[in-house]
Amino acid sequence: MKKLYLTYICIVVCAPIIFLIYLQIDMVCAPRAITASAIFGVVPLSLLTIAIYKKKKNFFYFSLFVLIIEIIITPVIMLKRLGWEKLVNERLLAFFTFEGIATLQIVITILLLLDFLKSQEDMTNF
């Protein structure tokens, strides 16, 4: 569980750095992408931290909910601001990076939740 949690922390820290690099080479249209990646990294990370230390599975579900909302609204926002042609022609790598990071966060959150549920089940078997 600790390795997954540390991996999650590394992803949350690296995501804004990746988008800062994208901003420098004009692959991200606005600094808002850096802010959004930081917010959508810190909020689920905070919820996961609470879930792990308070031993409450509801916070795992809240974290998953935030990440699923992120995956849904990211393409909507990018299409609204950029349009289809500019998104496909110029910003597709940034889009797939953002969605890939969010998907990876969801996978790790689910693995952490399963590990948590398994540990809770083992405790009740004693």
Q: Where are the domains of the chain?
A: 2-124
pTM: 0.81
Encode pLDDT of 25-39 as tens digits.
876 666 676 677 778
Angstrom distance (rounded) from CA 58 to CA 62: 6
Encode pLDDT of 51-80 as tens digits.
888 888 899 899 899 889 888 887 887 778
Degrees to nearest 5, angle at CA 74 with 82 and 34: 85
Angstrom distance (rounded) from CA 93 to CA 63: 25
